[in-house]
Amino acid sequence: MMSWEQEIMDHAISCVPEESCGLLGKINNKIIFFKCNNKSKDKNKNFLISIDDWIRIEDESEIIGIVHSHPTGSAELSKNDRKNCIELDYPYYVVSVENKNYKVFYPKELKKC
């Protein structure tokens, strides 16, 4: 079985030139990546997870993080990402397709800055 880290990278690559998105959930102490369709009007620069996807995944697991990709550039938060990470109060996992890596940002740490 593929690791969730490989799944988030594969999903990000498959969505290029658009941003990918999904949620990380926990079921019986196992982390699972749930792919979501990007519902943003400008999928090349933003992502939007539908409320239907969120509810479905929340019914199946404990949501522990929000995942999205940057098809070009680094795995750093945009201003909008930073604002949403703090407001939603979930860790953000940002995947850089270009650099083939990801970074995790925690709302509590962002609030300190």
User: What does the block give as tokens for 102?
Assistant: 């990801």
- pLDDT tens for the 113 residues of the chain, in order: 579 999 999 999 999 999 999 999 999 999 999 999 999 999 999 999 999 999 999 999 999 999 999 999 999 999 999 999 999 999 999 999 999 999 999 998 887 75
- The edge-to-edge listing of strands for the beta sheet with 21-27 is 30-36, 21-27, 62-70, 92-96, 101-105
DSSP per-residue letters across 84-100 = HHHHHTS-EEEEETTTT
Give residue 110's pLDDT: 82
- Asked whether the beta carbons of 19 and 70 are under 8 A apart, the reply is yes
Instruction: Look at the pTM and tell me if it is higher than 0.85.
Output: yes
**Runs of H (alpha helix) within 1-113:** 4-15, 51-60, 79-88, 107-112
